[in-house]
Structure 1
Amino acid sequence: MKIFTVMKERALKPLQGRSVVAEFEDGKILELTDSQQPLPPAIPDGMTIWGGREPSEHAPAMKHAQLNITSVAANGIIVAPCRENVMSPIKMELFISEDSGHLIPLTSKNVVIELNNGKTLEVVEDYAKKGLLIWGGREPVSGLTLNEAKERTESLGIYPLAANMIHVFAYRLG
């Protein structure tokens, strides 16, 4: 997967790294990585979202969290570590994880991930600060014509892998 940060005027700047890490103020973490799991052939290429860090030699042993998933549109979901009986907003920081596991903070809260099949997912801090907002294709923005909006929008699919891990992918029907 390729990772880009969204600059002014919606231009994309490539970033060097292997994953995106979202760290919440309560210490819980989400990590977005290339899908390494053998998936059924009918499931398109995508990324894996981990509640916690992906187990590796570089990531310290961390407690994993179940995922809370809220649908916001046919092409958008909010993903957050499960927080029992807590509905208040929570702050979040985004990082890029290098191959060594070192985390580099991002100044932007808006990242585009190009999957190995060329499809894109846009990752944004949820406006209500409830988690990580993930769009199939690119985030819908006002002022686009209907054709422009259709061109940049993909449906979003989810394939559960475990209580703390899902496979997310973009696809277009017909």
Structure 2
Amino acid sequence: MSSPYDPEHAPVGDVGTALMMIDSQLKSIHDGRTEADPEQQALTQQFAASLGREGLDDVLDGACTLIYMFMTWLREAHEDHDKDVIEYVVPNLVATMRMMPKSVRPEAIPTMAGLVIAAGTGLSPNLWRRQYGDWTEEELNPLEATAFLLAEHINRITDDPDFAIRMITEALSRSDED
């Protein structure tokens, strides 16, 4: 039975820009930087402002597409071991977000968990979220943190610090070829 929240009904968005932002964060963490680089933050804010509302919406959709792709990979990996992705990924994600009060306010955690659960059950996270209205400014950092944490989780599982980004890059390359 088809659902209006099935991924085929969802906009893909600007996956490239969303991926670049996540990759940048992953690299800064692996380079040992724990504090945000003020220059990098200023460039990111300037870039976001240059996108305009439509461009920003495309990046938000792209981040949701990344969450969907990461959760699809995680679901398949967990199923290979007869485990439930929701049972193993969501509690870890929520616990990690609770330790990030500067980036993820407590009231945003249920929405981010809902996005991950939607993606983990094969639904489009952006269409699932859209039913509750427009994104709020308070949800932007938690959305980015969610995509980042899922990528980092995949990298830890595979013991490869570049696996998640490479997986998406290769998928994008294959889709361009088609």
Q: Same fold (TM over 0.5)?
A: no
TM-score (norm 1): 0.27
Of structures 1 and 2, the one scoring higher in RCO (CA 8 A, sep 6+) is 2
TM-score (norm 2): 0.27
| Structure (1 or 2) with the greater strand fraction | 1
